[in-house]
């Protein structure tokens, strides 16, 4: 078993040198002595006192290992998950194995959640694979781990495995799967889930499930279906309204988004900071500068919400789209101490400088981007384009020489409920040879057509 051979076991003996293994049967014979430590750990968990909880359990292990049980380890793993420490829970995982609690499914599920929180998907998957009798909860925990760590494609593959293993997903599993669909833009799978929800008689069709469906439709670009679903939801909450507002916003439907915001406030639903991101995005996409300034102002003055980085980013994008480049620069420089400008904000302004041909401001923005550690070849490409548009060929050549080799972007395509990922000149796909054969055939047909087009791979 991997965890018994890992460095965490060695670390465990260094931290607890006097530890002597007590058999599980001996531990279970002292139920009364264990109840009090578990209550203490539970209180520490409620109070978010992570450091105190870890120290408390370490002291217990040194003094009396028989005073802890599987619930003690469950609480401490949850504490470590909340703390997102990449090392401490591994020590307690070793203890789980030594005390033979690795067959207890709720402990294993909590370990999956922990490894997900620290972005260790390899160990999360191994914990899952070592569970002798899996249930829907541990399946859902693993799917959620992949969604939370930006692996939605793998998450959907696991969702299909659930059904192949004769598990019927519940509303929690479906919410997680819909989140993966939203991240991937997998509309067909999302629609299949919606049909499954309609047919199912055992599901608890609650508001979070409908909100997840709404979020999926808006992010997948099916605004018509999203609007129909929105209109059928009776008891809407702030998440429901925000999803629909944001959906309209990202598709350039500013009037609809702002009208929905007014209807929301008229319904006595108090907007949150995410709602205002949607509203500001709506203003940005159609360059409604005055309206954007108004909403940015009222979010703090009327609703007591402090603008975050994302809100400042929306305002900068709004000013840049409207061509107010100097105002955008001043806006960045005047941001409060608690929210410092980042590279994305300056890069947004650089892109606007390129669109509007403002070389002087572009040079200043490029210099400011140099203060950040990250170096994107696209910054020098933009500068090169600006120099070329003004005929400044010497600086154009200098910018071109600064461009580093970049990681290529990828494309995703949904075919038969499967998501495939491609990059330029990709040769790793299992059907790569056949794909290129079809492309060559298509190019041959186009060359032979009356259009006289010429194409090369």
Q: How confident is the model at residue 19, as a pLDDT?
A: 36
Q: Which two tokens stand for residue 1?
A: 């078993």
User: Would 447 be classed as within a structural domain?
Assistant: no
For CA atoms 316, 320, 322, 325, the dihedral sign is positive
Q: What angle do CA 7, 9, 13 make, to 5 degrees?
A: 120
Residues 6+ apart with CB under 8 A from 180: 143, 146, 147, 152, 153, 155, 156, 159, 186
User: Would 427 be classed as within a structural domain?
Assistant: no
Q: Give the integer Cα–Cα distance in Å for 265 and 127.
A: 47
CB–CB of 313/345 below 8 Å?
yes
Q: At 410, is the pLDDT very low, low, confident or very high (cuts 50, 70, 90)?
A: low
User: Would 113 be classed as within a structural domain?
Assistant: yes
Q: Which two tokens stand for residue 155?
A: 């998450």
CB–CB of 223/251 below 8 Å?
yes
- Secondary structure letter of residue 84 according to DSSP: T
Residues 6+ apart with CB under 8 A from 287: 318, 321, 322
Q: List beta partners, residue 418.
A: 415
Q: Which of 343, 411, 409, 356 is nearest to 382 (CA)?
A: 356
Q: How confident is the model at residue 409, as a pLDDT?
A: 59
Total domains in the fold of the chain: 1
Q: Which of 182, 176, 184 is nearest to 159 (CA)?
A: 176
Q: What is the pLDDT of residues 160-189, one digit of tens each?
A: 999 898 899 999 999 999 999 999 999 999
Q: What is the pLDDT of residues 17-58, one digit of tens each?
A: 333 333 333 333 334 445 688 888 888 888 888 888 888 888
Q: How confident is the model at residue 426, as a pLDDT?
A: 65
Rg of the chain over all Cα atoms, to the nearest angstrom = 28
Residue percentage of the chain with pLDDT more than 70: 82
Residue 112's domain comprises 1-133
State mean pLDDT over 208-223: 96
Q: How confident is the model at residue 195, as a pLDDT?
A: 96
Q: How confident is the model at residue 12, as a pLDDT?
A: 35
Q: What is the pLDDT of residues 231-258, one digit of tens each?
A: 999 999 999 999 999 999 999 899 999 9
Q: Residue 422 CB: number of other CB atoms within 10 A?
A: 15
User: Would 216 be classed as within a structural domain?
Assistant: no
User: Would 182 be classed as within a structural domain?
Assistant: no
Decide if pLDDT at 413 tops 80.
no
Could you tell me the end-to-end alpha-carbon distance of the chain, in angstroms, rounded to an integer?
Answer: 49
Q: How confident is the model at residue 435, as a pLDDT?
A: 77
Mean pLDDT for the chain? 83
Q: How confident is the model at residue 455, as a pLDDT?
A: 42
Residue 32 CA, chain-centre distance (Å), reads 43
- Secondary structure letter of residue 403 according to DSSP: P
State mean pLDDT over 296-301: 96
CB–CB of 344/313 below 8 Å?
yes
Q: Give the integer Cα–Cα distance in Å for 450 and 340.
A: 58
User: Would 235 be classed as within a structural domain?
Assistant: no
User: Who wins on pLDDT, 152 or 419?
Assistant: 152
Q: Give the integer Cα–Cα distance in Å for 25 and 100.
A: 10
Q: How confident is the model at residue 427, as a pLDDT?
A: 66
Decide if pLDDT at 411 tops 60.
yes
CB–CB of 367/343 below 8 Å?
no
User: Who wins on pLDDT, 444 or 311?
Assistant: 311
State mean pLDDT over 440-452: 67
Q: Give the integer Cα–Cα distance in Å for 284 and 316.
A: 9
Q: Comparing 57-61, 253-257, 396-400, which segment has the lowest mean pLDDT?
A: 396-400
Q: How confident is the model at residue 456, as a pLDDT?
A: 44
Q: Residue 345 CB: number of other CB atoms within 10 A?
A: 23
User: Would 420 be classed as within a structural domain?
Assistant: no
User: Would 52 be classed as within a structural domain?
Assistant: yes
Decide if pLDDT at 86 tops 90.
no
Decide if pLDDT at 374 tops 80.
no
């Amino acid at each position: 078993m991997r965890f018994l051979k890992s460095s965490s076991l060695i670390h465990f003996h260094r931290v607890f040198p006097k530890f002597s293994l007590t058999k599980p049967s001996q531990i279970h014979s002292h139920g009364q002595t264990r109840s009090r430590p578990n209550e203490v750990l539970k209180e520490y968990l409620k109070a978010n006192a992570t450091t105190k909880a870890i120290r408390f359990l370490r002291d217990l292990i040194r003094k009396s290992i028989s005073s802890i049980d599987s619930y003690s380890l469950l609480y401490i793993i949850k504490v470590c998950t909340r703390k997102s420490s990449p090392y401490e829970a591994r020590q307690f995982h070793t203890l789980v194995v030594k005390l033979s609690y690795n067959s207890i499914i709720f402990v294993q599920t909590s370990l999956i959640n922990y490894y997900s929180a620290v972005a260790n998907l390899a160990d999360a998957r191994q914990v899952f694979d070592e569970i002798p009798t899996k249930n829907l909860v541990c399946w859902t925990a693993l799917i959620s781990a992949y969604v939370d760590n930006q692996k939605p494609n793998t998450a959907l593959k696991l969702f299909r495995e659930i059904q192949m293993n004769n598990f019927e997903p519940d509303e929690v599993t479906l919410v997680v799967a819909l989140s993966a669909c939203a991240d991937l833009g997998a509309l067909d799978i999302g629609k299949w889930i919606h049909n499954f929800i309609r047919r199912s008689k055992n599901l608890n069709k609650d508001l979070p499930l409908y909100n997840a469906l709404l979020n999926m439709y808006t992010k997948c670009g099916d605004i018509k279906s999203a609007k129909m679903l929105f209109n059928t939801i009776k008891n809407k909450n702030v998440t429901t309204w925000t999803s629909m507002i944001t959906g309209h916003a990202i598709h350039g439907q500013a009037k609809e988004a702002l009208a929905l915001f007014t209807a929301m406030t008229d319904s006595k639903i108090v907007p949150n900071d995410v709602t205002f991101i949607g509203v500001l995005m709506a203003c940005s996409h159609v360059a409604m500068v005055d309206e954007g300034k108004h909403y940015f102002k009222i979010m703090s003055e009327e609703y007591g919400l402090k603008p975050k980085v994302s809100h400042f980013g929306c305002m900068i994008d709004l000013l840049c789209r409207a061509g107010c480049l100097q105002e955008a620069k001043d806006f960045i420089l005047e941001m409060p101490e608690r929210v410092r400008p980042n590279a994305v904000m300056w890069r947004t302004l650089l892109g606007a400088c390129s669109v509007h041909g403002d070389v002087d401001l572009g040079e200043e923005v490029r210099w400011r981007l140099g203060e950040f550690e990250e170096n994107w070849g696209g910054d020098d490409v933009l500068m090169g384009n600006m120099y070329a548009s003004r005929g400044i060929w010497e600086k154009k050549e200098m910018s071109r020489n600064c461009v580093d080799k970049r990681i290529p972007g990828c494309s995703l395509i949904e075919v038969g409920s499967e998501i495939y990922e491609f990059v330029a000149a990709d040769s790793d796909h299992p059907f790569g040879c056949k794909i290129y054969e079809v492309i060559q055939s298509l190019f041959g047909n186009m060359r032979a057509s009356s259009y006289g087009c010429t194409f090369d791979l």
